[in-house]
Amino acid sequence: MSKTRDKKKNVKETKEVNICDILGQQAPIYCYCNDGLHNSSVVSCLVLSKFERTDPMWNYFKSQTQLEKLTFTVRQLDSLDYVPNHLLRNLKNLRIIVFQHGKFHKLASYTFSNLNSIVEINLSGNMIVEMSNYTFEDMQNLTFINLDYNRIFEIIRDTFVKLPNLRKLNLNHNNISIVHDKAFKLLGSLQELELSNNQISVITRDMFYGLRNLKRLNLRGNRISLLGERSFVEMSELAELELDQNQIILITERAFDSMRNLQRLQLNDNQLTSLPPNFLVGAPGINFLDLRDNLLKTVTFDNVKPIMTNLYEINGHLYLSENNLICDCKLTWIWGLRNETKNTKLRDALEELTCFLESNNATQKINREDLGRNQQPEISDEYVDNNSRDYDNEDDEAESGGYFDESDDENSSNFHSKNNREDRKCCIKHLFDLKVEELPCPQREDLMASEQPSSRHENARVGSSWFSSGSISVQAGQSVLVASLLLLAILFFT
């Protein structure tokens, strides 16, 4: 009888051990309570050695009945390779759970299920490779899941189920190459989806099916090369779209259809050589457009016409630097924007724009006038690298290394093409150092006079006059030659 009573007493004492008051040096875990030993709301634990599921120390957490945030930081590899969901179910007031440096590999079905007090789960950096169906299921108050810096390679359907208040999902810095169609179909309340720095190469509209309330989508640093028609149509509320640092070479004309709430579009650090004329018609609300560090030869008024009035406002932003822009009349709309915008930062950015000015017959006058006051700026190695990338050998001769290296072998296959561009060697000019009315205009186009302070017709007349005077000079030379020959003949026979 006495032995039984002592046994019950020992069990009771074991259960009452405070998780924040462990003194044994051999314990696999050490925890610190931020608010003292009793009734602490924040507890941080270091996992020092292998911590088995059956270890009685898991029961020590019952001493903290007011616990709201619990963090596990693994100090020794393989010390924690599972999620202790049996513990999570016993902590009725727990709101935030954090795991750092664990080795979970695969998250099984129902790992996080029916935990209605939890609002935030942070699983960043835990070597997770795979998730299952119903990994996150029936968590009514969950608002944020962080799965950054893992090794996840695939997002399958039904991983995220019955999460009616989930607002943000982070999947940055993984190995994701496949996102199944309708993988997020049950996340109707999601507002932010982070998928940056993965291996995604293809996007389709069904990838984002069901994300009707999404406000921000981050696809930065993937391998996307093409934006197909209506790719983002499922996200009609989207306000921010980040597509920078991809490999985009083509945007279809209707890629951004039905995106009337889009305000910020980042396409910088891609491989775009041209833009469809009306590619922004479906997104007329954009006031921030970043096209830096592409291979664009021009950006026409038609490209930006749907958003031009937005760029006039104080919150209007447009970035075009680090491209291969050609100095010609297609850029004259930039003068109008520079003069009309209320945003001084945008005005300053535009005034720093540079372009390639072809030194041919149509621009000799500009070069002569600017020779004294506007010498060709020194081109740094970095600028040459950024502006000499040649993805289209036929169309991008103006950006190829030939302009900076004239040591090509004359016997090479490129010799004739090099000779053909002898009179087209480029120099880099600041756009606003040039006169609008003297910009070359290889192709005539109808531009809005209110936006385009251009004098292309005058340029055309100047070109015609030059050509006519040149013809007269040739005819006069021929007449002198004939007269000279006739005089020589008369002298000979005499």
Asked whether residue 10 is assigned to any structural domain, the reply reads no
pLDDT of residue 62: 87
Asked whether residue 289 is assigned to any structural domain, the reply reads yes
Q: How far apart are CA 383 and CA 378, in angstroms?
A: 10
Domain range for 268: 224-359
Q: pTM of the full predicted structure?
A: 0.76
Place of tokens 């006038």: 369
Asked whether residue 41 is assigned to any structural domain, the reply reads yes
> Of 299, 327, 359, which residue constitutes the final position of a domain?
359
Q: Which three-class secondary structure state does DSSP give residue 435?
A: coil
Mean pLDDT, consecutive 10-residue stretches, the chain (494 aa), reads 48 63 81 82 93 91 91 92 94 96 96 96 98 97 98 97 98 98 97 98 96 98 97 97 98 96 98 96 98 97 97 97 95 96 96 85 43 37 38 38 36 37 62 90 52 38 34 44 59 53
> Of 76, 103, 130, which residue constitutes the final position of a domain?
103
Q: Are 329 and 358 in contact (CB under 8 A)?
A: no
Return the structure tokens found at 491. 């002298």
The DSSP code for 302 is H
Asked whether residue 132 is assigned to any structural domain, the reply reads no
Handedness of CA 311, 248, 403, 463 (dihedral sign): negative
pLDDT of residue 489: 60
Return the structure tokens found at 138. 């029936």
One-letter amino acid at 269 equals: D
Closest to 107 in 3D by CA, of 50, 34, 160? 160
**What CATH number is associated with residue 281?**
3.80.10.10
Asked whether residue 401 is assigned to any structural domain, the reply reads no
pLDDT of residue 419: 40
CA distances for 343 relative to 203, 317, 348, 432, angstroms: 34, 8, 9, 18
Asked whether residue 20 is assigned to any structural domain, the reply reads no
> Of 295, 329, 359, which residue constitutes the final position of a domain?
359
Asked whether residue 414 is assigned to any structural domain, the reply reads no
Asked whether residue 312 is assigned to any structural domain, the reply reads yes
Q: Which three-class secondary structure state does DSSP give residue 407?
A: coil
- How many structural domains are present in the chain? 2
